[in-house]
Structures are given as structure tokens and as C-alpha cells.
Structure 1
Amino acid sequence: MSNRLNSKWRSALKNSTQDWLTEVWMIFSSLMKIMIPALLVVRCIELLGWVEALGTMIQPLMLLVGLPGETGLVWMAAMMGNIYTAMVVFYQLGLAEQLSIAQVSVISSMMLIAHSLPVEVAIARAIGISLWFTLFLRIGGAFLFGFITYQAHSNLALLQLPAPQLWQPETADTSWVAWLLTQGQTIAVAFVVIAALTLFLRILRVLGVERLIHFLLAPVLRLLGIAKVASNIIIVGLTLGLSFGGGLLISEARRGHIAGRDIFLSMAFLGLCHSLIEDTLLMMLLGADFSTIVFARLLFSLLAILALSRLLDWLPTNKRGWFYRQSAP
């Protein structure tokens, strides 16, 4: 009897492991189909010098949010590349010695909302969100929040002391070898993160914790007009961000159990507020104010999605295709 039970247990464990590994590979391969082409496009843009050209073009906009024109290059580096690249540019331009805490908080907030756009917009598009809406939301939302934050800091005379210097980057290696090594490390980390997260979610599901998380998030999601079945998408995006969590977000969307409207609102919210742990810590190294880049940004995101949800309620169903696919892909 004992041998039979052990045999059944081993068989069940083997099947569960095979299912898990299959799920990991499917999610990882889906993400790589999006991530690798996007990374190559970004590399070409960098080599052609378009980041610098675009950064110069948006310099007048930076003046509207109380920042020196040179910060346009920092923001463009974040949008076309990633936050790490933007941090290096920030120090290369000598901005660490020039800006106040308020100004660093403004540029940090704008980078947190709009960064890694080639990869993250491609992920949103794969999930079914309009390309142009995603760009408008991320870039427009970043600029609007930056402007609001600048006005609040200026009018209330907040955070006007010089920003502390908590980090100094090493000299960046721009060779192809260094780039390939960096991207290889990113891809390897993405695989490990996906494997760990899917296993963690399976354990939570078995223990019943997943239902508890859904219950706790339900009031906020109900306020935003999002069904609680979208809780996993929100949790993954808030903790891991869109790049590392992209594969799992695509998988959740494609399972077909979440309505297109809920996927759209969830991804719109995450477009404005995601990766609260890693990205927040990076911006604090630049000297940004924690309350501004976390609490104020979170409030801004909630209000923006609340307004967007009401807009969808008002919009005729046949017009919602402007924003997203009506059902999960």
C-alpha cells in the first residue's frame, strides 16, 4: 500500500514538474519573440545617434517641467533604452551636481512612467493594446505627472535642497561584445524570474493564498472598474515590471479568462505604475524623493485609470477597438 502511494506521489510530482517546465518555456519563448527584435532595434537606434537627436528635440519640453534642457537626453535614453542607461547619461552630463531633490524627483518620475518603450510597447501590443494609445499614455502621462509635480514643488517650496549623490556609475562599455553580454544576462535573468514566479504562483494557488490576494485587491479593482480575475496581471506588473513580467502578462491575457476591457485597464494602470521595487530603488540612488515617485505616482495612476474607466463606460462598444481588442487574443 505504501509503495503504491509513493508511486502515485512520484507520478503526480513528475507530471506537475513537466507541466511547470512546459509553461515556463511557453512564456519565455513568447517573451523572447518580442524582446529580442526590440532590443536589436534599440541597438540600431543608439548606433545611428538618434537618441541624442531626439533628446535635443525635446529640450524645450523639459523647461516646462522646471528642468534643464539637457535632461531631455536623459529622458530619451530611458524611453529608447532603459533606466540604467539613463542613469549613466545623467551622471555623464554632470546633472548630479546641478539639480535639487525636487528636480531629480521630476525627471525620475518621468523616467519611471516612460522607459524601455520599444520592448514594453511591443508587449502591450501583443496583449492587444493599441500601439498609439500606449505611447500616448506613457509619454503623455509622464509629462503630465512631471508638470504637476513641478508645480506642486515650486508653489509649496518643497524639496529645494541639492539632491544627495548616492551612486556613481562605472564607465560604460559601448562595444558589441559588452552589449551582447549585457543582453545575454538580461535574457538569462528573465528566464530565471519567469521560472521562479510561475512556481511561486502555483504554490500560492495550492495553498489558497492566491484567492486571498484576489480578495484583498478586489475593492481597489472594483473602484477602477477592473474584474478581480485580473489580479495576477496587476501583481506581476507592480512587482516585476513589464519587461521581466511581460511573458507572464501575455500568458495571462491569452488564457482567455480575462475580458479585453479588464486587460486594457490593467495594462494602462501598469503603464503608469509598475516595478515598484527595483525601479524605485534605482531612482532613489539618484536622490529622488520616495513620496513623490511612489505615493504621488500611485495616486496619479489610480485617478488616471479611474477617469479612463469612466470614459470606456461612456464610449460606444464599437468604438473601443480604438484602444484594445475586444477579447483576449
Structure 2
Amino acid sequence: MIKSIIAVVKETVDICVPLFRILVPMIVVIKILQETGLVSLLGKILTPLMFITGLPGEMGLAWASALATNMYGGVIIFATLVKDVDMTVAQTTVFASMILMAHAFPVELQISKQAGTRFRAMFLFRFGSALIFGALLNVFYKSFNLLQQPVSTFYSPAQRENTLLSWAYGEIVNLGYIALIIFTLVVLMKIFKKIGLIKFINMLCRPLLKLMGIGEQAAYVTVVGFTLGLTYGSGLIIKEAKSGSMSHKDIFFSLGFMGICHSMVEDTILMLAIGADFFGIFVLRTVFSVLFVAVLVRLSAGIPEKFFYRWLFMNK
């Protein structure tokens, strides 16, 4: 029993150490971005792109905040701006879908990079897919005149103490939660392997993974990322990448899929609170993500290996 606990703790540490090496410095970088006003500059750059997706230009600042910090940062700016900007339910759903697919880039892209993907490739993958889906969703809602009523938001940002000490304490608590969840995932993974549930999960996911062109070895970690979040799914993928149990293409496209379609419970609830439509942010986004990855996997089959390792993946 003690040996089993020690083994689980060691495995948790092995996952957390490379993950925290990324998270801790990136948390500091994000704080600097917020304090120096660089997020506002990014918002101005993104303003013209908002019109492609049918959103008011002001929403560029909200998306920039989500990209540079995290999804909650984007939601807080949105909740502040929406008081003075007329937004429909359709527009809110488009905005919510875009920040669900592209947020927290300083942290999440570095985590993906640790698993072997090239930073620029995953940046373009997630940013491009968010923009494409946002534009398509906007056309869909306008063509069928759906959800054109004014949005009603249920979320208003809470006022928090804005001191360096309170910020540091909050981030330390968040890292503690991440470590605890990873520990729980390691325990569950061992139990699931013991009782054969991993094989059952692989069997259930086989049709979906086959459609996307991703190998069965990625089933469990993809499910973890899809339900809980990219941080946890990527943490497991980093471990699998080091063990060599997943192919490099499976790692890239599994991370790509998780990047645009992860944490489907918590994140969906948050977006519903700002007035987004469930069918758009959950069902349509999932369908788009699966088909988008499936198309890219099949297109990648024809590219030379040299190109894959030059532009998409680091051959470690």
C-alpha cells in the first residue's frame, strides 16, 4: 500500500515539475502584460478582425485579454464592455466560442510546446480555427436570423483586492489545486488500468478518434483534456511523449483538438453565464473541432516528414 502511494506521488511529481516550470514564469509574464498595458495594445490590433466575425470592434480588447491572460480575463472585460455595447445572443455566442478556442496563449502554448509541438504552429492552429469558426457561426446565425435578440448576462465581475500579495496567494492556491487534480488523475488512471476501464474508454472513443485520424493511444488523455482542461490533458501527454507511447502526429493533433475543445463542463457553464447559447458553444463547436482536425489530419498525410518536423513538431 505504502509503495503504491509513493509510486503515485512520484508520478504526480514527474508530471507537475515540467508543467510548473512552464506555469510559474508564464504567470509572472501574464501579470507584467496586465500591468504594462500591452493587453490594450493587442486589443487595438485585433479590432479589425472583429468585423470578420460580426462583432463590435470593442470586443477586440476582450479577446486580447483572454488570449494574453485567461478566459476569465476575457469574460471580465466583456462584462464591463457589454453595458455600453449592444450585443445580441448570436454575437455573444460567437465571442464566447472564439475565446473558448483561443485563450491563455502564454501558458497553454508553452505547455503544448513542452510536449513537442512548435509554438507558431499551435498558435496558428488555435487562433485560425477560432477566427474561422467565429466567421462561420456569424454567417449561420445571420442567414437563418437566429438569436438576434439582445443578450442578458448573468455574470458580473467581482471586485477583488488588487495587491501583489493577494495576487501571489491566489496563484499559489491555483497551483496547489492543479497538483491535487493531477494526483487524482494519476490515481484514477491506475485504477482504470487495473479494472480495464482504459480499454473500455479507448473502445468508446475509437470511432471518434478514427474519424479524426488520431491513434487509440491518445484516447484517455484526449478525454481528460476534453472534459477537465488542456492543462491536465497536456500534463499527461507530456508524460506519454517522453515514454514514446504516442506518435508525434497523434501528439500534435490530439493537442490541437484539446486546444480548441477542452474543459467542456466548467468553461461551458461560464459562457452560459454571460448569455451565450449552449447549442453554439458546445454542440456546434464540438462538431466543428472534430471535422476541422479530421480534415487537417488527412491533409497532413501528404506532407513530407521534413516539413512536419520543420514547421509543426520538434523532433526530440
TM interval, short-chain normalised: over 0.9
Aligned with residue 22 of structure 1, among 10, 34, 40? 10
SS of 2:301's partner is helix
Structure 2 counterpart of 1:289: 277
CA distance in 2, matches of 1:216, 1:193: 24
1:166 pairs, out of 144, 154, 166, with 154
CA shift in 2, pair 1:283/1:65, >3 Å: same
Q: Structure 1 residue 295: deviation in Å?
A: 1.0
2:269 aligned partner, one-letter code: L
Give, in whole Å, the separation in 2 of the partners of 1:37 and 1:309.
33
> 1:181-215: CA deviations, max 9, x gaps?
22112101101110111111111111111110001
- Matched letter for residue 187 of structure 1: L
> Which position in structure 2 is the counterpart of 1:252?
240
Q: State the match for 1:205 in structure 2.
A: 193
| Kept after mapping to 2: 8 A contact 1:88/1:172 | no
Which residue of the partner structure matches residue 314 of structure 2?
Answer: 325
* Percent of paired sites with the same residue: 33
Structure 1, unpaired ranges of 5+: 1-12
Q: Name the CA distance, whole Å, in 2 between partners of 1:265 and 1:138.
A: 11
Output the aligned Cα RMSD: 1.4
> Is the CA contact (8 Å cut-off) linking 2:272 and 2:278 kept in structure 1?
yes
SS of equivalent to 2:34: helix
Aligned match of 1:80: 68
1:218 correspondence with 2:232: no
One-letter identity of the residue aligned with 2:157 = P
Q: Distance in 2 between matches of 1:96 and 1:158?
A: 23
3-state SS in 2 of match to 1:235: helix
Measured at CA, do residues 97 and 132 of structure 1 come closer, stay the same or move farther in structure 2, by a change above 3 Å?
closer
Provide closer, same or farther for how the CA distance between residues 173 and 77 of structure 1 changes in structure 2, counting only shifts above 3 A.
Answer: farther
Runs of 4+ in 1 over 6 A off after TM superposition: none
1:233 and 1:252 in contact (8 A); partners too? no
Question: Quick one: distance in 1 between partners of 2:62 and 2:161?
Answer: 18
- Specify whether residues 59 and 289 from structure 1 end up closer, same or farther in structure 2 by C-alpha distance, changes over 3 A only: same
Give the match for residue 146 of structure 1: 134
Deviation at 1:172, TM superposition (A): 3.9
- The residue correspondences of 1:166-315 to structure 2 (distance < 5 A) are 166-315=154-303
Partner AA of 2:280 in structure 1: T
Q: How does 1:99-110 map to 2 (within 5 A)?
A: 99-110=87-98
TM-score normalised per structure 1 = 0.92
